[in-house]
Structure 1
């Protein structure tokens, strides 16, 4: 095929073989690194972000394969054709090391001579279009017969602009091969001008970019899926937060009870969101003044995250309040909560501690369901209360829960918390650190000051889950 250079321009000098070889080595080294990173990427299909990243890796590797083969072709230079110029050139074999589907099997060239009305195609172009190499090359008038109907105007416009206005061709269209498969072809070309400035021929390079477009489409679809997943997660978080805010007492500031009589408990609480996740958990705290003058104190945690868990937490908290107002004692209350969880459509596990404080005799009756025991601080020291029997809510049908009773004294401080204050459920480190705050609690003037002390200790700690803390100081 004649050199595709306009008469008024000279060909650029090719780069030196050594510089091209260096680029090839660099490209192959990058491919190796990319393959190693891709191999370590999860591909279980469950996470849209993982699918999007893997699609990007596949696209990058595909383009690096093309670059490697293209550089190899540039290094090796054009091959000397053994056939006579009038004959159709045979397809060139891929060089050693070339992979199936690489650039060399997907790029062809063509020239249409307007002076002799001849068309010349490379063997690779016959492969791309699925044509018999023994058949004559199609003219520009015949070429649209291979193109999808909706893409023919685009090809006609590109060729017309090239021949009439000498504009370079740079566009894509889809062709239908004889086997019925559809391929996307990218075409680049220019007119070749004669001495008088007229167009004598047109050359073009046609590249099968079907796989490249497929990879890019996969990346785009994965990215759209990831964006949808993130939007949904943000919506779920907002709904969970709104639901949590609607059912829990205020997160900041002292908890105020509606009773107008003498104040017997100074109350404060706080909710600490997880630092390593975006979804809201099922932690709750509550303080409720009961009809007989007693006060219900409770904290709990429903396993999982998201709107469904926040909704389940709201259901449990509503049940706790209702049964407590009806006079149900803590142990029996937890038994009924266990039955409620056991009867739900979606089984779940939860933990809780419920305390009933009577100001008349300063007695505290409490029960727990697989939950950290309340901490009692007195005279500058702290200890965990001895826990009665109790398994996780929802763990077994018909579970019973024991009760314990302790008498408090004026100035005593009771601290209830969920187990997400530090990373790792069931860890004793949070309890040890909380007990170590006893001297600071003893010097604090209010329950809110004690909560601030807990925030100073745990606020910057990495947490895999939400956490709650509730402080009650006996004032009389």
Structure 2
């Protein structure tokens, strides 16, 4: 710490504070379409050029350049097989030597989620550059998240094909697809990304307790999306007034029964994890049983007593529980993931799901990378057939 003549710390602005202060000072009233100009000005003072903000598309296949003043455009990059994609998947900076300098890719991390990648070219890179770029990327990620609710610019960038109205509703319901915290991590994938209707999930980390729900509303299109909206809304309401898991089911059941015809229903799985002890509790309402993964191998299903799907007026369900070990992962999925089949052939099946989990699970891979690869691999193994929503959520207790 530098001390001035009167014994006070030196409070004059340093170069690094000036860089970060540029973003902070402008952030409050910055129009979303001018984010690129602020980023370009900031990295330009560091000697950076050709800045790009690369956002993940909804299908989780490509990183798409944000087209905004001050930023460099270009073609979308495949997440698999590009330097930017490697940065995105590992959440670590990646540097690429060029004829005229070094292209630096820095992850845009926000609250454990990853918005995308910031890419910039410098003549040379040292430890100070890396530190400042990492901090700039952190502020830019927060800025994108803050401005996201004020504009359609980022939504449009992330779309690589037309989206149905039902899918529009479902995506507006979702929390961030990924959350990574010291004790727990969550990652989810929805398929088909641009036409999903009845599947959804939700989670919240309240103190030391992680709450997680996965639902599958019957049918397709707007009817299914509307039911899913009511079910998630009822789940959040019950969760936020701190009722027990079995009572959350009753809240959701009553909401669906009161709003829809008697033959309408939603299957659901509600979980609660004590992130301090690893105690996992869950309630199953007509949903496929979760799968427990330990030491990167499937140990088996978390079977439990089930009650009727939400909306059918089932009895108050029994709460099941298990003690997880540090590093354990729990895979929740909707039936579309295993019931899909090519014309004239058998269903994909849970055995194939388990086989692929065992192949893709590795010690050095994050839940986000595994969940994404699992969803895409299963889709390819089904012959790219997705006649029903196929959603999965991977939960890890880190201990």
SS of 1:465 mapped into structure 2: coil
Deviation per CA, 1:307-348: give whole Å up to 9, x if none: 232122112111111211222222221122112222124341
**Offset at residue 298 of structure 1 (A):** 1.3
- Alignment RMSD, CA only? 2.5
Q: Could you tell me whether the CA contact under 8 Å between 2:273 and 2:279 is conserved in 1?
A: yes
Distance 1:440 1:263 in 2: 23
Aligned partner of 2:24 in structure 1 is none
Q: Could you tell me whether the CA contact under 8 Å between 1:255 and 1:287 is conserved in 2?
A: no
**Which of 316, 323, 339 is the aligned partner of 1:407?**
323
- Is 1:450 aligned to residue 370 of structure 2? yes
Deviation per CA, 1:14-55: give whole Å up to 9, x if none: xxxxxxxxxxxxxxxxxxxxxxxxxxxxxxxxxxxxxxxxxx
Unaligned runs of 5+ in 2: 1-161
Aligned partner of 2:85 in structure 1 is none
**Offset at residue 367 of structure 1 (A):** 0.4
SS of 1:433 mapped into structure 2: helix
Aligned partner of 2:256 in structure 1 is 341
Relative to structure 1, the CA distance from residue 336 to residue 438 in structure 2 (aligned partners, 3 Å threshold; closer, same or farther) is same
- Is 1:466 aligned to residue 389 of structure 2? yes
**Offset at residue 439 of structure 1 (A):** 4.7
Aligned partner of 1:351 in structure 2 is 267
**Which of 208, 215, 234 is the aligned partner of 1:319?**
234
Distance 2:256 2:360 in 1: 39
SS of 1:450 mapped into structure 2: helix
Question: Number of residues paired by the alignment?
Answer: 228
Q: Could you tell me whether the CA contact under 8 Å between 1:255 and 1:269 is conserved in 2?
A: no
SS of 2:267 mapped into structure 1: strand
Aligned partner of 1:386 in structure 2 is 303
Aligned partner of 2:284 in structure 1 is 368
Unaligned runs of 5+ in 1: 1-235, 257-261
**Which of 189, 197, 203 is the aligned partner of 1:287?**
203
Aligned partner of 1:197 in structure 2 is none
- Is 1:248 aligned to residue 174 of structure 2? yes
**Which of 351, 354, 357 is the aligned partner of 1:435?**
354
TM-score by length of 1: 0.45
**Which of 186, 194, 202 is the aligned partner of 1:267?**
186
Distance 1:459 1:335 in 2: 34
Higher Rg = 1
Q: Could you tell me whether the CA contact under 8 Å between 1:272 and 1:466 is conserved in 2?
A: yes
Relative to structure 1, the CA distance from residue 406 to residue 423 in structure 2 (aligned partners, 3 Å threshold; closer, same or farther) is closer
Distance 2:351 2:184 in 1: 25
**Offset at residue 474 of structure 1 (A):** 1.6
**Offset at residue 388 of structure 1 (A):** 2.0
Q: Could you tell me whether the CA contact under 8 Å between 2:297 and 2:361 is conserved in 1?
A: no
Distance 1:456 1:308 in 2: 27
Q: Could you tell me whether the CA contact under 8 Å between 1:416 and 1:469 is conserved in 2?
A: yes
SS of 1:324 mapped into structure 2: helix
